[in-house]
């Protein structure tokens, strides 16, 4: 270090390779500088059970350092032995023993994948998985204090926590056992409905709107406790009684009603958890994390509760977010200060210059392209005409939602657009909805009781009189999950939508992720170009260039 140079604290946050969605991030003096999911770089959907090797390299290169310059590596999971031992505290003895043995075997195997062999073991800090989830939301929220709920399938020794956070402290009041996992029951019924675990849960959430829930909910929940509790033996018996749909079989009303009952039960249970925390703390701020927090419909219900005034859901709420939470938590315990960070946007991944983009475009003779003099006007005109746009700009997003940098865009007022994008571009199930990106200053025009929604992670009821303006971005139940677009955090995307408003009177576009079914969202120019060539996107707008197929 040069004389007079101020020493920075650098923390590298990583997911444990046992995770289903792996990622890395880097903090400098408590501020997030870079974060990316491994799947965006290795092109394997979710990058399950894989060390975030490429993500680590990206983060280090963004800051211009090597691993030896890092002060601490924070891992979003307990160490092997601690996770194993904690199972005895949170589970019945025999189940806890089984879980502990399994974790010792699995955890040890995956922990060895972390590329940290040359890093000082004393500076590797393992953070409890749900502590990391909770920290990822609270320390990113900007709230001075908040109730915190984290729920997923399993986090080593538990599947969820309920607590209260203030300053640098997070106190937990309840832990949800692995046997009583709310994430696990959603996974199990997803599988019974013929979809893939750890991937198809969003499909079930969308399907639920087509069904009628049983008002009693799922039959294995004890509603008489302080918070609702799953009864493991009854859950096991119920799941075993369900037939498994072959994915080629048609979906019947029975399937739709089961999805609706599952969704209803989850919403009722987590609403009661939020009420429990409010009764205990008096706080009307709520932070959510864990894979269950990606459930937009549930989040929308929570946002409307009378005892929830402000709500924050960390956009990479699944396992990838545990890398961020671990890093933020380690900063807090090592400095005694809250990280100087509030997550206003999700644009923390790689970006590419016009020069890099043009070089890649030149590799595809089947394209014709040019540099636009007014990228916003030309793109807005294409959208008005009903063209489907591949929109590739700036730094890629973290989390499963495309938020205007790696997006497929369309005119939301055209009734046929939902089916057109589903059938000719995304190649996915027809019931799955798309979302609108709406200028944040115009959100009240379209949804009832709006709240800030920069991450497209909450569902709202739409206002019937204006539904026709965004009809292809509204679900069958009349809800939508909007992204509110800020001129401050994404001026390029904001300018495009503003230009579209000037042409059409509609301050919104239909937005879906720039990928096709079962592939990761595109990251680099080559991936965007190849996806454009091989699907029904009409026009590619990449950097300042507009490309067409010959």
pLDDT of amino acid 79: 78
The sign of the dihedral angle between the CA atoms of 223, 224, 230, 235 is negative
Calpha distance 25→34 (Å, rounded): 5
Cα separations (Å) of 275 from 139, 149, 285, 451?
A: 22, 11, 12, 19
SS (H, E, C) 132-168: HHHHHHHHHHCCCEEEEEEECCCCCCCCEEEEEEECC
Q: Which two tokens stand for residue 435?
A: 């979302």
Q: In the chain, where are the structural domains located?
A: 10-134+323-335, 143-311, 354-549
Q: Model-level pTM greater than 0.75? A: yes
pLDDT of amino acid 110: 82
CATH numeric code, 354-549:
3.90.870.20
Nearest CA to 55 out of 261, 446, 324 is that of 324
Cβ atoms of 496 and 380 within 8 Å: the answer is yes
CA–centroid distance for 59 within its chain: 19
pLDDT of amino acid 155: 80
Calpha distance 358→375 (Å, rounded): 15
Cβ atoms of 76 and 127 within 8 Å: the answer is yes
pLDDT of amino acid 77: 93
pLDDT of amino acid 431: 86
Relative to beta strand 23-28, strand 539-542 is unpaired
Cα separations (Å) of 301 from 257, 274, 501?
A: 19, 11, 30
Calpha distance 533→366 (Å, rounded): 8
Burial (CB < 10 A; 0-12, 13-18, 19+), residue 121, is: exposed
pLDDT of amino acid 43: 97
Q: What's 456's DSSP letter?
A: S
- Burial code of 356-393, b = ≥16 C-beta within 10 A, e = fewer? ebbebbeebeebebeeeeebbbbbbebbbeeebbbbbb
Strand partners, 171: 164
Q: Domain 143-311 falls in which CATH fold?
A: Nucleotidyltransferase; domain 5 (3.30.420)
State the chain's maximal CA–CA distance in angstroms: 72
Cβ atoms of 454 and 483 within 8 Å: the answer is yes
Q: What's 74's DSSP letter?
A: E
Half-sphere exposure in the Cβ direction for 258 (13 Å, CA): 23
The pLDDT profile of the chain, 550 residues, written as one tens digit per residue, is 334 445 689 999 999 999 999 999 999 999 999 999 999 999 999 999 999 999 999 999 999 999 999 999 999 998 766 665 665 565 566 565 666 667 676 767 888 899 999 999 999 999 999 999 999 999 999 999 999 999 999 887 899 999 999 999 999 999 999 899 999 999 999 999 999 998 899 999 999 999 999 999 999 999 999 999 999 999 999 999 999 999 899 999 999 999 999 999 999 999 999 999 999 999 999 999 999 999 999 999 999 999 999 999 999 999 999 999 999 999 999 999 999 899 999 999 999 999 999 999 999 999 999 999 999 999 999 999 999 999 999 999 999 999 999 999 999 999 999 999 999 999 988 889 999 999 999 999 999 999 999 999 999 999 999 999 999 999 999 999 999 999 999 999 999 999 999 999 999 999 999 999 889 999 999 999 999 999 999 999 999 999 999 9
Same fold, 10-134+323-335 and 143-311: yes
Nearest CA to 22 out of 318, 266, 226 is that of 318
Q: Domain 10-134+323-335 in CATH: superfamily?
A: ATPase, nucleotide binding domain (3.30.420.40)
Q: Which residues lie closer than 8 Å to 163 by C-beta, 6 or more apart? A: 134, 147, 148, 170, 171, 172, 173, 174, 277
Question: What is the total residue count of the chain?
Answer: 550
Cβ atoms of 124 and 112 within 8 Å: the answer is no
Calpha distance 71→457 (Å, rounded): 33
Strand partners, 186: none
pLDDT of amino acid 198: 87
pLDDT of amino acid 518: 84
């Amino acid at each position: 270090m040069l004389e007079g140079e101020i020493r920075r604290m650098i923390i590298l946050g990583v997911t444990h390779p046992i995770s289903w969605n792996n990622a890395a991030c880097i903090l400098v003096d408590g501020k997030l500088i870079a974060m990316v999911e491994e799947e965006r770089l290795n092109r394997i959907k979710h990058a399950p059970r894989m060390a975030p090797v490429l993500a680590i390299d990206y983060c280090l290169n963004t800051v211009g350092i090597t691993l030896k310059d890092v002060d601490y590596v924070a891992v979003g999971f307990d160490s092997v032995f601690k996770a194993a031992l904690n199972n005895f505290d949170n589970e019945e003895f025999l189940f806890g023993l089984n879980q502990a043995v399994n974790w010792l075997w699995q955890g040890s195997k995956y922990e060895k994948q972390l590329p940290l062999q040359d890093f000082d073991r004393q500076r590797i800090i393992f953070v409890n998985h749900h502590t990391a989830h909770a920290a990822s939301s609270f320390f990113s929220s900007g709230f001075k204090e908040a109730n915190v709920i984290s729920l997923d399938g399993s986090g080593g020794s538990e599947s969820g926590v309920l607590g209260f956070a203030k300053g640098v402290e997070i106190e937990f009041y309840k832990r949800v056992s692995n046997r009583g996992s709310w994430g696990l029951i959603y996974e199990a019924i997803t599988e019974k409905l013929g979809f893939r675990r750890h991937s198809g849960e969003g499909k079930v959430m969308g399907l639920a709107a087509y069904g009628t829930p049983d008002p009693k909910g799922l039959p294995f929940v004890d509603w008489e406790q302080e918070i609702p509790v799953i009864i493991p033996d009854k859950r096991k018996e119920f799941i075993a009684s369900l037939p498994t749909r072959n994915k080629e079989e048609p979906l019947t009303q029975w399937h739709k009603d089961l999805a609706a009952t599952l969704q209803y039960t989850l919403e009722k249970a987590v609403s009661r958890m939020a009420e429990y925390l409010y009764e205990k703390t008096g706080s009307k701020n709520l932070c959510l994390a864990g894979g269950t927090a990606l459930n937009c419909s549930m989040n929308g219900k929570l946002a409307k509760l009378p005892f929830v005034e402000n709500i924050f859901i960390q956009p990479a709420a699944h396992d990838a977010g545990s890398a961020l939470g671990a890093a933020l938590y380690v900063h807090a315990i090592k400095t005694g200060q809250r990280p100087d960070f509030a997550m206003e946007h999700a644009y923390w991944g790689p970006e590419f210059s016009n020069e890099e983009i043009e070089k890649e475009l030149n590799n595809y003779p089947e394209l014709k392209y040019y540099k636009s003099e007014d990228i916003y006007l030309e793109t807005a005109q294409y959208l008005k005409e009903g063209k489907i746009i591949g929109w590739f700009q700036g730094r890629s997003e973290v989390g499963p939602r495309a938020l205007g940098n790696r997006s497929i865009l369309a005119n939301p007022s055209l009734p046929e657009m939902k089916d057109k994008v589903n059938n000719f571009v995304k190649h996915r199930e027809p019931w799955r909805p798309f979302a609108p990106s709406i200028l944040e200053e115009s959100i009240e025009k379209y949804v009832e009781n709006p709240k800030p929604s920069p991450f497209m992670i909450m569902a709202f009821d739409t206002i019937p009189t204006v539904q026709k303006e965004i009809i292809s971005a509204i679900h069958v139940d009349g809800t939508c999950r909007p992204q509110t677009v800020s001129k401050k955090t994404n001026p390029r995307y904001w300018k495009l939508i503003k230009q579209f408003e000037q042409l059409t009177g509609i301050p919104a576009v239909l937005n879906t992720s720039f990928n096709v079914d079962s592939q990761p969202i595109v990251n680099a120019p080559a991936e965007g170009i190849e996806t454009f060539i091989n699907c029904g996107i009409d026009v590619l707008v990449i950097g300042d260039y507009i490309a067409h197929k010959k």
